[in-house]
Amino acid sequence: MRTTTFDYAPLCKSTIGFDHFLDMVDAAQRAGSDDNYPPYNIERLGDDSYQISLAVAGFSPDDIAVTAEQNVLTIEGQKAEKEQREYLYRGISGRPFKRQFNLADYVQVKNATFENGLLRIELAREVPEAMKPRRIAINGAPPSNVHQLDGKAA
């Protein structure tokens, strides 16, 4: 397997404030070879709503912890072995896992549900009114070719 890394130094010279973004791109590039357990989907449900679904067969809701801190969503699973079992074949994995997702600014976790071996986490992007774009009125002198009339209209 051939891996290619990119040098982002030329971009860093001409951009301001994007160093965090470039670090995230670099981390995502390196994460491509990591373990892909448990498998997951990321869906867009609307303009500002998303859902992450993780296949966590063999785990119960009590075995899973979902934590949102700053712009990182962390999902950890640790199966509690209650009794010793003798498996002839074990195809359903119960190994511990930790999966992290970087969230964009203003993305909030709204809900988490567990049903039929799938953990679903609903996310929504809620930009505060103060951060939304707004039109700014331009004040200044009237153009020189426009004359104001004094007096009443006839």
Long-range contacts made by residues 74-81, C-beta under 8 angstroms, separation at least 24? Answer: 74/98, 74/99, 74/100, 75/99, 75/100, 75/101, 75/119, 75/121, 77/38
Residue 74: strand pairing partners: 67, 100
Report the predicted TM-score, pTM, of the whole model to 2 decimal places.
0.65
Q: Which residues contact 117 (CB under 8 A, 6 or more apart)?
A: 55, 56, 57, 58, 59
CA quadruple 46, 49, 54, 59: dihedral sign:
negative
Tens of pLDDT, residue by residue, the chain (154 residues): 455 666 666 665 555 665 666 666 666 666 555 568 899 999 999 989 999 999 998 899 999 999 999 889 999 999 877 778 888 888 888 889 999 999 988 899 999 999 999 999 999 998 888 877 888 889 886 666 655 556 555 5
| SS3 label, residue 99 | strand
| Integer CA distances (angstroms), 73 to 1, 40, 110, 126, 148, in order | 30, 14, 12, 16, 61
* Domains recognised in the chain with CATH numbers: 1-34 (no CATH), 36-131 (2.60.40.790)
- φ and ψ at 32, to 5 degrees? -60, -25
Residues 1, 23: Cα–Cα separation, whole Å:
23
